[in-house]
Amino acid sequence: MEDYINQISKYNDAGLSISRLHDIWLRCRIYKNRGSFSSWREQLVDAWLELYPDVLRQEDKKKIIKNYENYMGKVSRSKTRTQIYFNLINLQQFLRGLQDVAGKAGVYADENEEGFD
């Protein structure tokens, strides 16, 4: 067992994480369009769980966690379907932003940069 202590895994989960997030966002769209708000919410929880290890590597992790809790609280306190809908949209936008911060979203380049196609 001691032989494994100094070894580093060559396996990188980032690509699989991006794939899992992609699947989550697709399911979110389906549940949003169907009006299945509880299923949509559960998918957003799954997105949070997928992004959480990346959140823990951020300098402002406590602020991010607090923001997530605030969004979830707003969803939980929603009184009407309209409120739930817009609070879920806000939560999803927040999580998509976290995906960008984690580097698991699109890669953007300035068209003036070398190699821009």
The residue extents of the domains of the chain are: 15-101
Confidence at residue 14, expressed as pLDDT on a 0 to 100 scale: 76
Confidence at residue 4, expressed as pLDDT on a 0 to 100 scale: 47
Answer yes or no: are the C-beta atoms of 90 and 74 closer than 8 Å. yes
Q: How many CB atoms lie within 10 A of CB 37?
A: 17
Structure tokens at 18: 């991006």
Phi, psi angle pair for 57, to nearest 5°: -90, 0
Q: Which of 10, 87, 95, 9 is nearest to 52 (CA)?
A: 95
Cα dihedral sign, 106-110-111-113? negative
What is the full per-residue pLDDT of the chain (117 aa) written as tens digits? 455 455 555 556 778 889 999 999 999 999 999 999 999 999 999 999 999 999 999 999 999 999 999 999 999 999 999 999 999 999 999 999 999 988 887 666 667 666 655
Distance CA 54, CA 10 (A): 19
- pTM metric for this prediction: 0.81
Distance CA 29, CA 97 (A): 17
